[in-house]
């Protein structure tokens, strides 16, 4: 990597009432998480942070990165040195730089969540409203492909055909299966400006997906949506849909729930 393409950064990581700051130079493709890991390996006293998968799948590494709730494992130095919104839905603006020209990057814990230490939070509010038995598998689009072959091994666990429906409390689609797109990262919950009691965008997205996938559960899901902390408090700010790293568009799911509830009342 030639020196000219290196990006100078100052990482300011929230630690209680103050920030711990670190200067570094990095290749543009490195992520914020890579940089924290590098600092920690170099024995710097880096405030605590959450991470697990390093590829945008576990949903643990959310932080408010220079004003915008984002995943640290998918936000690169290149992203941070280019124009970027400072709040959900805000205009993209040039990054703040210090007198030496280094890009100033602030890392703060996600809002609405209690802090363990540093920028590590307890994501309880994300999970509290998601029905505990909402299925996480969904049908994968077969796009005209042949059905998958039967599975002689799976017969031993009651899954002889790929996708044999119910298994205990859990549910699988018939045919090709994949996980829901939502990685339960809570960026939407952190970005949501609603201050009334509200189960939140991630939970409502899960409620609507469950309704769509399992008609037998539709009434129970609609009851959750119709409760006072269901769709009602949503002010249609759409901050959720703007920050979602997985294009779940929770705002769209909330609207779909509203439409079904309104139809039911007519």
Provide the binding-site residues for ligand SF4, judged by CB under 6 A: 126, 182-188, 201-202, 205, 243-244, 246, 248, 250
Query: Minimum distance from CB of 137 to another protein (Å)?
Result: 6
Residue 262 neighbours by CB under 8 Å, 6+ apart? none
Pick 53 or 227: Cβ nearer another protein: 53
Judged by beta carbon distances under 5 to 8 A according to partner kind, the member of another protein, ligand FES, ligand SF4, none in contact with residue 237 is none
46's tokens? 């880096």
| Residue 107 binds ligand FES (CB under 6 A) | no
Residue 51 in contact with another protein, rule: CB under 8 A: yes
In the stretch 24-63, what mask flags binding to ligand FES with x, by CB under 6 A? ---------------------------xxxx-xxxxxx--
Residue 125 binding target from ligand SF4, another protein, ligand FES, none, CB below 5 to 8 Å by type: another protein
Q: Which is nearer to ligand SF4, 105 or 243 (CB)?
A: 243
Q: Are 158 and 191 in contact (CB under 8 A)?
A: no
E-strand spans in the chain?
7-15, 18-26, 62-65, 68-71, 84-85, 92-93, 103-108, 114-117, 120-122, 137-139, 177-179
Determine the Cα–Cα distance for residues 228 and 261; give it in Å rounded to an integer: 13
Query: Segment contacting another protein (CB under 8 A): 87-95, 102-110, 178-186, 209-217?
Result: 178-186
CA–CA separation, 45 and 40 (whole Å) = 7
Which DSSP category does 47 fall into? P
**Residue number, 18 or 114, with CB nearest to another protein:** 114
Shorter beta-carbon distance to ligand FES: residue 59 or 200: 59
- Please report whether residue 20 would count as binding another protein according to CB under 8 A: no
Task: Find the shortest distance in angstroms from Cβ 39 to another protein.
Answer: 9
- Residue in 255, 126, 127 with CA at minimum distance from that of residue 188: 126
Decide which of ligand FES, another protein, ligand SF4, none touches 199; Cβ closer than 5 to 8 Å per partner kind: none
The alpha carbons of the chain give a radius of gyration, in whole angstroms, of: 21
- The residue count for binding another protein (CB under 8 A) is 71
Q: How far is the CB of 202 from another protein (least distance, A)?
A: 11
d(CA 265, CA 149): 44
Handedness of CA 189, 194, 200, 204 (dihedral sign): negative
Give how far Cα 201 sits from Cα of 26, 238, 239, Å: 35, 10, 10
- Interaction site with ligand FES (CB under 6 A): 51-54, 56-61, 71, 73
């Amino acid at each position: 990597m030639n020196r000219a393409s290196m990006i100078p950064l100052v990482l300011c990581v929230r630690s209680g009432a103050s920030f711990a700051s670190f200067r570094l130079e990095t290749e543009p493709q490195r992520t914020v998480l890579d940089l924290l890991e590098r600092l920690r390996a170099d024995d710097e006293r880096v405030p605590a942070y959450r991470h697990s998968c390093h590829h945008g799948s576990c949903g643990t590494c959310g932080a408010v990165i220079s004003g915008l709730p984002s995943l640290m494992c998918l936000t690169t130095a290149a992203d941070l040195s280019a124009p970027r919104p400072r709040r959900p839905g805000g205009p993209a603006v040039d990054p703040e730089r210090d007198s030496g020209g280094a890009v100033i990057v602030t890392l703060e814990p996600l809002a609405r969540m209690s802090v363990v230490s540093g920028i590590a939070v307890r994501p309880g509010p994300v999970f509290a409203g998601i029905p505990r038995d909402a299925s996480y598998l969904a049908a994968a689009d077969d796009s005209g492909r042949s059905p998958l072959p039967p599975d002689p091994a799976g017969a031993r666990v009651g899954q002889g055909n790929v996708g044999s429906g119910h298994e205990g409390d859990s549910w699988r689609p018939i045919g090709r299966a994949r996980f829901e797109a939502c990685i339960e990262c809570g960026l939407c919950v952190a970005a949501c400006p609603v201050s009334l009691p509200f189960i939140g965008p991630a939970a409502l997205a899960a409620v609507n997906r469950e309704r769509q996938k399992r008609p037998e559960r539709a009434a129970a899901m609609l009851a959750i949506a119709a409760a006072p902390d269901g769709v009602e408090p949503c002010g249609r700010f759409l901050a959720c849909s703007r920050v979602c790293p997985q294009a779940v568009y929770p705002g769209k799911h909330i609207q779909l729930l509203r439409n079904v509830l309104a139809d039911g009342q007519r």
